[in-house]
Amino acid sequence: MKKYKFVFLAGLTVTVSTIYSCKTHFTTPQINYTAVESPRAFERGKALAFSICAGCHYNRSVNKFIGTPIHDVPGIIGKVYSANLTNSKTHGIPPHYTDAELKYLLKTGIARDGRFIPYMLRPNMADEDINAIIVYLRSNDPAVTPADTTIGLTRYNIIGKLYMGMTAKPLPYKPGIKLPSDNVALGRYLVDNVGCFHCHSKSFTSLNYLYPEQSKGYMAGGIKFKDEQGMFIVASNLTPDKETGIGKLTQQEFLKAVKDGEAPDRKLHPPMPKFKQLQDREVDAIYSYLETVPPVYHKVQG
């Protein structure tokens, strides 16, 4: 009997040490950066926060960035909630971060306590845009004024911890990126940084955040989402294929689909956001860029 007990204990020790040796904590170097406020940065930051962060952090029940449960994470790894991004001293995150720590988190995915947070990596975001987002988060806009409340705390179970440890890949910290001025380059930048390619490629697990075009099935659609009634919504093929992609949409129709959620043949369902805060010029740039992506014949069915 004793022997079996020993084998069991040895097995347990190996399993536990494997889990703990998977790296989920990283060091955060000291970088120097202080956000520069201006009315222009505030406006830009607000538009970006509503186009990018709102999808996961904005709560429509109170119209504030107090966080939401993240349903698209498989339940098998545990429960995931986004954070309260208001300026609450007790429950909000921004008051406990320096500007430099926020910038580092957004670029690399590494939080100030060294945790790797994989949901919002923006390694290629321009310095100007990161600055704008931070200025907005620190502002008096009603959506970020203090709300002393928590929606829920993220808890990974043992499978989740193992999975996170195995997949944790912080990205390099690359500052000094400028906003592109060329139309097509701007479109590519927005598809990357607003995050269109996250939902419109083959799967969340095969995204390449550093080199988006190298993601599997880049922009050819197919990710399935479940809506509140349990119906499947499939993200569209946004490559310029005439039959199965957006090759059939005019620039005007594309603009209406992206900003108002109205495609020529149907009303678009969530989780496709209504990108009200993107300028027409920016959506046109996205359209011009998508026309340069290789067309892929991939019929997606919703």
110 contacts ligand HEC (rule: CB under 6 A)? no
Spatial separation of the C-alpha atoms in residues 69 and 228, rounded to whole Å: 13
Instruction: Judge contact between 151 and 84, C-beta under 8 A.
Output: yes
- Are 51 and 136 spatial neighbours (Cβ–Cβ below 8 Å)? no
Residues 6+ apart with CB under 8 A from 28: 101, 104, 110, 111, 112, 114
Shortest Cβ 193–ligand HEC spacing (Å):
9
Q: Pattern 146-165, binding to ligand HEC, x per CB under 6 A?
A: --------x-----------
Q: Site residues for ligand HEC, window 65-104 (CB under 6 A)?
A: 70, 80, 82-83, 85, 93
If one asks whether residue 187 binds ligand HEC (CB under 6 A), the answer comes out as no
Smallest separation, CB 21 to ligand HEC (Å)? 20
Selected binder of ligand HEC within 41, 100, 194, 285 (CB under 6 A)? 194
Q: Give 17 or 30: the residue with its C-beta nearer to ligand HEC.
A: 30
Q: Least Å distance between CB 10 and ligand HEC?
A: 32
Binding status of residue 285 toward ligand HEC by CB under 6 A: no
Long-range contacts of 29-34 (CB under 8 A, 24+ apart): 29/104, 29/173, 30/100, 31/100, 31/103, 31/104, 31/173, 31/175, 32/100, 33/99, 33/100, 33/103, 33/175, 34/99, 34/100
Considering the complex, what minimum distance in angstroms separates the CB of residue 137 from ligand HEC? Answer: 6
| CA–CA gap between residue 278 and residue 48 (Å, rounded) | 8
Distance (Å, whole) CA 62 – CA 74:
26
State both tokens at 255: 């603009």
**Residue 110: closest CA among 171, 67, 66, 183:** 171
Q: Are 63 and 142 in contact (CB under 8 A)?
A: yes
Of the residues 40, 71, 269, 299, which one makes contact with ligand HEC according to CB under 6 A = 269
Nearer to ligand HEC, 13 or 157 (CB): 157
**Residues within window 209-238 making contact with ligand HEC, judged by CB under 6 A:** 225, 233, 235-236, 238
ω before 271 within 30° of 0 (cis)?
yes
CA distance 269 to 262: 9
Of 6 and 119, which CB lies nearer to ligand HEC in the complex structure? 119
Give least dist CB 60 to ligand HEC, A: 15
Q: Which stretch binds ligand HEC (CB under 6 A): 30-38, 117-125, 144-152, 168-176?
A: 117-125
For binding to ligand HEC (CB under 6 A), which residues are involved?
Answer: 52-53, 55-57, 70, 80, 82-83, 85, 93, 105-106, 111-112, 117, 119-120, 133, 154, 194-196, 198-200, 225, 233, 235-236, 238, 246, 254, 257-258, 263, 268-269, 271-273, 275, 286, 302
